[in-house]
């Protein structure tokens, strides 16, 4: 309380000092105040003045700082005004854009309304399609079952094909052996034909043998003498001797003829021939009459020989016909084995002299893949896929494109796998004609990947017709086909010419 009172007292004195009093009052007051109070008041006033002056100085400094801040704020305000002006311009532009967008939104609303109607129609069509799809799914499920069955059948057929391939390889060996056998059989057939001719000659001599039979019968009638009669009558006439001798010679000639053409007939000859040097007079004729009597029925063995020869002729004719049939069948098998298969790139059909196995599209690896496969593939248009899960790393398959910078540029090429009736088919680069004796399957241009691409490729002969899949005009790349151009140096020029497109031909023989 004392401190607060002294403060109020000092403030009151300062007020009186500042405002002043009348002279009579001030003199009375001054005289009434003690010196200590006056000194205290003065000291306090001086301290207060110093404090006030310090405060004023601080306030002046603060005012200066505030003026600086105000100047800075003024510059900032000017900048903000500029920014506001720019923003106002932007706002005006945005308003214009908003108006345009509103117009576009109104147009879009109209379009959306139209699209809603279209969507409603599409919903109806989708429902119909869903019904069709449900039907198709049932059909597809049945087809999948059929496909699974076909896969099993195909697997069985593949096994059968592998077996048939082994059988074909064995058959080829057998065919090579059969060819040698056929050559031997042909020799045998020629030999049999010779024997047939000889047997025909024998058959032609049958009338002569029958004539000999008649002579023998007549001789028996003329000379009915037995061996005992000859012993009793040693003096035979010269005429009987000559007739017997001639008869024996004729029989001997007939026997030699039969032995020459059919050796088995010698087994039927149970008797000996007549001795052409038989004596006469008192000496005996050794078994001459016995010979004549024994050969009086030679017609029986001759008929057996003729029937045997006829049977052999029929058997040989049947065997010859069997051999010919076997040769025809083996020739058919050899013709089937003497075929070749080739790919006609750039065409969906084969040449007239070849059979179409299947047609498809050209495919392979992407032209920038470093680990790409180099070969081109003729892909079927009826693929069958596996349900096996796809691994994280695999080889990728892309379609092909012509890169000819012409009317066929960036179109997807077609291909055909063909079976030729000729056993050998080759591709000849550098020409569009075949050598003499060879048959032209097709001609075209030698094509491959570009020289600066990362993936390697092989050279193939593409048909000059450049057939392509309809609607394949997009530049999607893949397995690319470029013309092959000559570069002289290690390539001899001539016969080649620098910077020319290389042709090719596929030939068979």
Domain for residue 449, yes or no?
yes
**Which residue do the tokens 């500029």 mark?**
82
- pLDDT value at residue 15: 60
248 shares a domain with 325 = yes
294 shares a domain with 257 = yes
Please compute, for residue 386, the number of CA atoms within 13 A of its CA located in the half-sphere on the CB side.
4
- 229: domain range? 205-335
- Cβ-in-10-Å burial (0-12, 13-18, 19+) of 227 comes to middle
361 shares a domain with 316 = no
440 shares a domain with 357 = yes
- pLDDT value at residue 301: 56
489 shares a domain with 352 = yes
Domain for residue 139, yes or no?
no
Query: Tens digits of per-residue pLDDT, 382-409?
Result: 999 999 999 999 999 999 999 999 898 8
405 shares a domain with 268 = no
**How many domains does one find in the chain?**
3
240 shares a domain with 366 = no
Domain for residue 265, yes or no?
yes
Q: Which of 342, 340, 345, 339 is nearest to 443 (CA)?
A: 345
Contacts of residue 165, Cβ cutoff 8 Å, sequence gap at least 6: none
Please compute, for residue 502, the number of CA atoms within 13 A of its CA located in the half-sphere on the CB side.
22
User: pLDDT per position in the chain (509 positions), as tens?
Assistant: 555 555 566 666 566 555 554 444 444 444 556 778 888 888 888 888 888 888 888 888 888 888 888 888 888 888 888 888 888 888 888 888 888 888 888 888 888 888 888 878 888 888 888 887 788 787 777 777 777 777 777 777 777 777 767 777 776 777 777 777 777 777 877 777 787 777 777 777 667 666 766 666 666 555 544 444 444 444 444 555 555 565 556 556 655 655 554 554 444 444 444 344 444 444 444 443 444 344 444 445 556 666 777 777 777 777 777 777 777 776 666 666 678 999 999 999 999 989 999 999 999 999 998 888 999 999 999 999 999 999 999 999 999 999 999 898 889 999 999 999 898 999 999 999 999 999 999 999 999 999 999 998 999 999 999 999 887 777 888 899 999 999 999 999 889 999 999 999 999 99
Last residue within a domain, chosen from 312, 335, 358:
335
Domain for residue 407, yes or no?
yes
- pLDDT value at residue 287: 41
404 shares a domain with 311 = no
Cβ 367 vs Cβ 448: under 8 Å: no
- pLDDT value at residue 461: 97
Domain for residue 312, yes or no?
yes
- pLDDT value at residue 299: 47
Q: Which of 378, 339, 336, 377 is nearest to 358 (CA)?
A: 378
DSSP 411: P
243 shares a domain with 353 = no
Domain for residue 142, yes or no?
no
344 shares a domain with 330 = no
503 shares a domain with 359 = yes
Domain for residue 234, yes or no?
yes
Domain for residue 23, yes or no?
yes
420 shares a domain with 319 = no
Q: Which of 412, 411, 467 is nearest to 444 (CA)?
A: 467
* Predicted model pTM: 0.40
């Amino acid at each position: 309380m004392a401190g607060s009172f002294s403060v109020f007292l000092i403030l009151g004195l300062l007020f009186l000092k500042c405002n002043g009093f009348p002279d009579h009052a001030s003199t009375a007051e001054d005289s009434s105040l003690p010196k200590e109070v006056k000194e205290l008041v003065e000291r306090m006033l001086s301290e207060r003045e110093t404090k006030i002056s310090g405060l004023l100085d601080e306030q002046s400094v603060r005012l200066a700082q505030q003026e600086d801040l105000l100047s800075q704020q003024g510059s900032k305000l000017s900048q903000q005004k500029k920014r506001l002006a720019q923003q106002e311009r932007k706002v005006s532009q945005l308003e214009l854009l908003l108006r345009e967008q509103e117009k576009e939104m109104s147009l879009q609303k109209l379009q959306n309304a139209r699209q809603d109607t279209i969507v409603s129609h599409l919903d109806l069509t989708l429902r119909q399609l869903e019904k069709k799809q449900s039907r198709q799914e049932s059909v597809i499920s049945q087809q999948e079952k059929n496909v699974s069955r076909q896969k099993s059948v195909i697997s069985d057929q593949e096994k059968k094909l592998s077996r048939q391939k082994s059988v074909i390889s064995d058959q080829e060996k057998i065919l090579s052996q059969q060819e040698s056998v056929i050559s031997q059989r042909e020799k045998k057939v020629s030999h049999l034909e010779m024997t047939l001719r000889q047997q025909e000659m024998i058959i032609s001599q049958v009338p002569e043998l029958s004539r000999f039979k008649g002579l023998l019968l007549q001789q028996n009638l003329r000379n009915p003498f037995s061996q005992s009669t000859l012993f009793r009558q040693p003096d035979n006439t010269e005429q009987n001797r000559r007739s017997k001798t001639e008869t024996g010679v004729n029989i001997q000639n007939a026997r030699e003829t039969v032995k020459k053409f059919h050796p088995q007939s010698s087994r039927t000859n149970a008797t000996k021939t007549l001795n052409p040097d038989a004596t006469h007079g008192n000496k005996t004729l050794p078994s001459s009459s016995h010979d004549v009597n024994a050969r009086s029925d030679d017609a029986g063995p001759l008929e057996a020989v003729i029937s045997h020869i006829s049977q052999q002729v029929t058997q040989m004719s049947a065997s010859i016909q069997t051999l010919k049939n076997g040769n025809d069948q083996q020739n058919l098998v050899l013709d089937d084995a003497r075929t070749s298969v080739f790919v006609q790139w750039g065409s969906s059909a084969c040449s007239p002299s070849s059979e179409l196995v299947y047609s498809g599209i050209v495919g392979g690896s992407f032209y920038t893949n470093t680990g790409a496969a180099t070969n081109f593939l003729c892909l079927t248009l009826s693929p069958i896929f596996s349900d096996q899960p796809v691994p994280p790393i695999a080889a990728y398959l892309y379609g092909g494109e012509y890169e000819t910078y012409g009317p066929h540029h960036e179109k997807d090429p077609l291909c055909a796998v063909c079976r030729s009736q000729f056993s050998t088919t080759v591709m000849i680069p550098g020409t569009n004609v075949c050598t003499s004796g060879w048959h032209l399957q097709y001609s075209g241009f030698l094509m491959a990947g570009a020289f600066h691409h990362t993936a390697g490729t092989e050279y193939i002969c593409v048909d000059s017709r450049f057939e392509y899949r309809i609607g394949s005009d997009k530049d999607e790349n893949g397995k690319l086909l470029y013309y092959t151009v000559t570069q002289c140096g290690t390539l001899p020029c001539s016969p080649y010419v620098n910077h020319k497109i290389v042709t090719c031909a596929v030939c068979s023989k």
